Structure 1
Amino acid sequence: MQININTDKTIERNQGLDEHVNSVVSAAVQRFGEHITRVEVHLSDENSKKTGGNRCMLEARVTGYQPIAVSDHSEHLHQAISGAADKLQRAINSALGRLHDKHLHDTPKLQDDAEQVSDEVSK
Structure 2
Amino acid sequence: MEILINSDNEVKMDQAGKDYFRAELQDSLKRFEDYVTRFEVYFSDETSNKDTPGDQKCVIEARIKGRNPEIVTSHASAQKAAFDASIDKIRTVLDRVIDQQRGH
- Fold shared per TM-score above 0.5: yes
Give yes or no for contact 1:24–1:85 (8 Å, CA) kept in 2: no
- Which runs of at least 4 in structure 1 moved beyond 6 Å after TM superposition? none
Counting only pairs closer than 5 Å after superposition, residues 6-85 of structure 1 correspond to structure 2 as: 6-48=6-48, 52=53, 53-85=55-87
Identity %: 28
Distance (Å, rounded) in 1 between the aligned partners of 2:27 and 2:71: 17
Unaligned runs of 5+ in 2: none
Higher relative contact order (CA 8 A, sep 6+): 2
Q: Is the strand fraction higher in 1 or 2?
A: 2
Greater mean alpha carbon deviation, residues 15-24 or residues 2-11: 15-24
Instruction: Quote how far apart the aligned CAs of 1:49 are.
Output: 7.4
- From the CA coordinates, give the structure whose radius of gyration is larger: 1
Q: Are 1:24 and 1:82, in contact at CA under 8 Å, matched by a contact in 2?
A: no
Over the residues paired in the alignment, what is the CA RMSD in angstroms? 1.5
Tell me which amino acid in the other structure corresponds to 2:47: N
Unaligned runs of 5+ in 1: 103-123
Equivalent in the alignment of 1:119: none
Higher share of residues assigned helix: 1
Distance 2:60 2:9 in 1: 18
Aligned-residue offset at 1:55: 0.3
